[in-house]
């Protein structure tokens, strides 16, 4: 019996010695423990977030995704799941759980290692804030001491709140609120019991138990948490059985896939979010990514989604008109015995782009193509092959033919049918603003932000072509022209001696000449020769200065006659600002995209206070000029180059098409009193869009599709005619029109008595022959004489290459 007491006494002595050593070490270590200021004044790294004006998330920037929540906002099902998984006795111990330590020690002695650490939630908070994750006894001692200190200074709910907000849970998500968004696209209060159990199982090993990366291992951990919740009495048997029934790898993979799809199909405001990010960094430096700053933009979800859909459709329609170019790449595949892992690896570096999905061709013939994608084989046939049919034929070039090993794009057309598609090479941009104050309603800077970050809406300096003509015509109105004046649409020729370079003989788009026509008809039909004559008469120097009032940089519009054809340089953003002057009746506004900025505590730190048309915005255009230009551009929509816009069935639309030389750029700029929208189509590195790809063919359809949504439910708004206009007969006699009262032509001289008496009564007898010298002079013509073959001397020694409508 005595021999049994010897081991017990030895163990007791070792325990006493260990406790004494621990006490001594603790006595010296306690004063060196770090301050808990980072806990008591908790300031986590919260990412910069960008929102629409109506509260929808556009973008998030920062290394750590985090949504800070208060403990009262955490649902009990998630609290219980966390406690069951990590620290069931959290509310009972003082930061260190002796029962847990004993259990872990026994397990480690049995296994001969240090597999279990018995860390409480408080100890994990201490480690996450102050220590590393290395498994050493020295680090463990400090962890225990810090846990005791934390428990002494903070309440249990405060500690649990820190843990819920700080812990890393994979997918760049820090804290359970961010993880709920990352894995399930939900808020905490929307989590189900199985989802809460899945998230609660992540802290132990976020990468190993990630349900997106490893659904099988994640489900094993999820089932363990559910059992622990049952054993701890947090849930009943029925709830446990119901949750366990859906805790399967297949369900886990499906749920997280649905969540990721929801996130991928969110609002496509990447270009707007990037603009807001740059503004935040300018204001706050790199700390902008950590301070929890929230930026509210002027974008609305309805307009942004409409703009994205319209631009995407317009670009894809253009791309289909120009044919299928062939597969994106090829990989070598043996004829048989290829594993799914090998196929997945071949597609691993190929990103999807919205609904244009990457797929690997397994079999191909003119009648059917079978592709592989994410463990699934998809067969495409019938109409789904029509677009790519030329590259399925035997005579197709081998380097462009669809064959086994080709990487192509496919798109779901609905009803479980697919089609072969391709990534467009052409780019486009759309910017929409409120003409009253410049608030940007929608902005898309390119076909796909993931492919190019270059924002064509704000950075793309391109020639505007005929979409710039309204500014020249507006300048002509200020110099005495009216819509009813007649100008010659006849040939012009400028010899090399006049241009200072090569001879220039400008043409109209159709190569024809219409002779005498009114200014209104010339703009409606976009006649180049009339525009040149107008600019020639008012002088390019005057026009260059004049366009500055619309917000354009005069230096980018050299004073040559080619300015009449849009040979300068503009961005869609600048065009939106310019056309807004016509839309709002003559006031200069500046587009802006950031409405408000809030700090991490929700305090407003910045707000845009824009000038408003009719109130604080400067007037830069005579209201009569704005009204007349609006009237002429409405004719462009009704019977001119933008006549297809009549499909919108509105009478308050105005605008102008634009196409540059060699079809390098296609524009449509249009508006009503409530919305100005600019669309552009072209290649990032300018090249020919293809014959017939004018502003009316390539850019106008995007504008129409956007405006059909932007103006949905909006009543027509007509602008009243301002004072100071008089009605006159158009020079060609076709209609009555308006012009400035001060430029009204003088009344013709009265006829002599003999001529008036001749028509006074039928009883006057036979008409008398008028003497030649008494014939009244020819009435003053409404048109202004403009020489046909004389141009002002160029400012520089060379005239730019002319462009046409």
DSSP 8-state code for residue 484: T
Cα distances from 250 to residues 169, 213, 215, 600, 609, in angstroms, run 21, 13, 8, 39, 52
Catalytic residue among 119, 252, 432, 466: 466
Determine the Cα–Cα distance for residues 132 and 151; give it in Å rounded to an integer: 20
Both structure tokens of 669: 């700029």
Radius of gyration of the chain (CA): 37
Active site residue 466: yes
Q: Are strands 736-740 and 173-174 parallel, antiparallel or unpaired?
A: unpaired
Helix (H) or strand (E) holding 666: strand 665-672
With contact defined as beta carbons under 8 Å apart, do 678 and 702 qualify?
A: no
With contact defined as beta carbons under 8 Å apart, do 516 and 484 qualify?
A: no
Longest CA span, the chain: 163
The angle formed by the CA atoms of residues 185, 188 and 193, to the nearest 5 degrees, is 95
Determine the Cα–Cα distance for residues 599 and 164; give it in Å rounded to an integer: 22
Both structure tokens of 443: 């902005």
Cβ atoms < 10 Å from Cβ of 617: 21
Per-position DSSP letters for 546-569, written without gaps between them? HHGGGT--GGGS-SSGGGGGT-S-
Q: Look at the alpha carbons of 641, 646, 648, 649 in this order and tell me if their dihedral is positive or negative.
A: positive
Give per-residue burial for 428-445: e unless 16+ CB within 10 Å, then b. bbbbbbbbbbbbbbbbbb
With contact defined as beta carbons under 8 Å apart, do 441 and 576 qualify?
A: no
Both structure tokens of 687: 């090249």
Q: Look at the alpha carbons of 622, 627, 628, 630 in this order and tell me if their dihedral is positive or negative.
A: positive
Active site residue 377: no
Determine the Cα–Cα distance for residues 725 and 147; give it in Å rounded to an integer: 83
Q: Are strands 604-607 and 329-330 parallel, antiparallel or unpaired?
A: unpaired
Q: Look at the alpha carbons of 747, 753, 754, 759 in this order and tell me if their dihedral is positive or negative.
A: positive
Residues tagged active-site? 86, 466
């Amino acid at each position: 019996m005595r021999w049994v007491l010897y081991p017990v006494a030895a163990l007791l002595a070792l325990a006493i010695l260990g406790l004494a050593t621990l006490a001594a070490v603790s006595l010296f270590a306690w004063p060196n423990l770090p301050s808990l200021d980072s806990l008591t004044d908790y300031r986590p790294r919260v990412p910069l977030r960008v929102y629409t004006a109506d509260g929808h998330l556009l973008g998030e920037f920062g290394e750590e995704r985090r949504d800070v929540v208060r403990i009262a906002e955490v649902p009990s099902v998630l609290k219980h799941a966390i406690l069951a998984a990590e620290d069931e006795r959290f509310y009972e111990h003082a930061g260190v759980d002796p029962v847990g330590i004993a259990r872990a020690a026994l397990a480690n002695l049995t296994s001969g290692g240090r597999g279990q650490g018995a860390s409480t939630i408080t100890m994990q908070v201490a480690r996450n804030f102050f220590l590393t994750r290395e498994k050493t006894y020295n680090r463990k001692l400090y962890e225990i001491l810090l846990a005791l200190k934390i428990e002494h200074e903070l309440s249990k709910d405060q500690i649990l709140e820190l843990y819920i907000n700080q812990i890393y849970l994979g997918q760049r998500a820090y804290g359970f609120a961010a993880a709920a968004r990352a894995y399930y696209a939900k808020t905490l209060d929307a989590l189900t019991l199985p989802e809460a159990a899945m998230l609660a199982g992540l802290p132990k090993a976020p990468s190993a138990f990630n349900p997106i990366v490893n659904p099988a291992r994640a489900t094993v951990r999820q089932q363990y948490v559910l059992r622990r919740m049952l054993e701890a009495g947090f849930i009943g048997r029925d709830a446990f059985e119901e949750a366990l029934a859906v805790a399967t790898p297949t369900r886990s993979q499906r749920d997280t896939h649905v969540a990721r799809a929801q996130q991928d199909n969110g609002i496509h405001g990447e270009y707007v979010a990037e603009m807001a990010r740059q503004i935040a960094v300018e204001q706050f430096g790199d700390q902008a990514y950590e301070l929890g700053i929230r930026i509210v933009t002027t974008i609305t979800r309805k307009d942004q989604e409409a703009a994205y859909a319209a631009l995407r459709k317009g670009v894809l329609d253009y791309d289909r008109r120009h044919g299928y170019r062939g597969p994106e790449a090829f990989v070598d595949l043996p004829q048989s015995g290829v594993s799914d892992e090998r196929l997945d690896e071949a597609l691993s570096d190929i990103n999807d782009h919205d609904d244009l999905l990457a797929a690997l061709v397994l079999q191909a013939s003119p009648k059917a193509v079978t592709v592989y994608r994410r463990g699934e084989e998809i067969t495409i046939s019938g109409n789904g092959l029509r677009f790519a049919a030329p590259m399925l034929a035997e005579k197709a070039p081998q380097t462009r033919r669809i064959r086994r090993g080709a990487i192509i794009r496919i798109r779901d057309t609905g009803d479980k049918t697919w089609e072969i598609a391709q990534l467009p090479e052409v780019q486009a941009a759309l910017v929409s603003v409120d003409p009253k104050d410049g608030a940007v309603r929608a902005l898309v800077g390119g076909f796909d932000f993931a492919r190019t970050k270059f924002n064509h809406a704000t950075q793309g300096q391109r020639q505007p072509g005929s979409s710039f003509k309204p500014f020249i015509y507006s300048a002509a109105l200020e110099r005495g022209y009216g819509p009813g004046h007649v100008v010659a649409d006849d040939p012009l020729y400028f010899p090399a001696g006049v241009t200072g370079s090569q001879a220039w003989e400008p043409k109209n788009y159709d190569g024809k000449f219409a002779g005498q026509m009114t200014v209104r008809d010339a703009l409606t039909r976009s006649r180049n020769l009339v525009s040149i004559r107008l600019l020639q008469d008012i002088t390019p120097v005057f026009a260059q200065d004049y366009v500055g009032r619309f917000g354009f940089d005069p230096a980018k519009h050299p004073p040559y006659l080619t300015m009449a054809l849009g040979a300068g340089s503009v961005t869609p953003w600048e065009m939106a600002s310019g056309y807004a002057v016509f839309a709002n009746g003559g006031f200069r506004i500046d587009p802006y995209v950031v409405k408000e900025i809030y700090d991490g505590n929700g305090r407003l730190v910045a707000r845009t206070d824009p000038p408003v048309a009719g109130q604080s915005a400067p007037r830069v255009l005579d209201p009569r000029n704005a009204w007349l230009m609006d009237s002429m551009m409405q004719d462009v929509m009704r019977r001119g180059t933008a006549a297809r816009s009549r499909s919108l069935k509105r009478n308050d639309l105005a605008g102008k098409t634009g196409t540059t030389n060699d079809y390098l750029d296609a524009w449509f700029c249009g508006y009503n009193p409530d919305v100005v929208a600019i669309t552009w189509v072209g290649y990032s590195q300018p090249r020919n869009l293809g014959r017939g790809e004018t502003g009316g063919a390539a850019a106008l359809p995007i504008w129409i599709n956007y405006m059909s949504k932007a103006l949905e439910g909006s009543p027509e708004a007509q602008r009243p005619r301002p004072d100071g206009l008089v009605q006159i007969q158009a020079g060609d006699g076709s209609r009555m029109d308006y012009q400035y009262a001060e430029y009204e032509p003088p009344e013709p001289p009265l006829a002599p008595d003999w001529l008036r008496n001749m028509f006074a009564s039928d009883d006057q007898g036979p008409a008398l022959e008028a003497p030649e010298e008494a014939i009244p002079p020819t009435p003053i013509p409404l048109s202004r004489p403009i020489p046909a073959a004389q141009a002002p001397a160029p400012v520089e020694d060379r005239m730019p290459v002319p462009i046409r409508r």
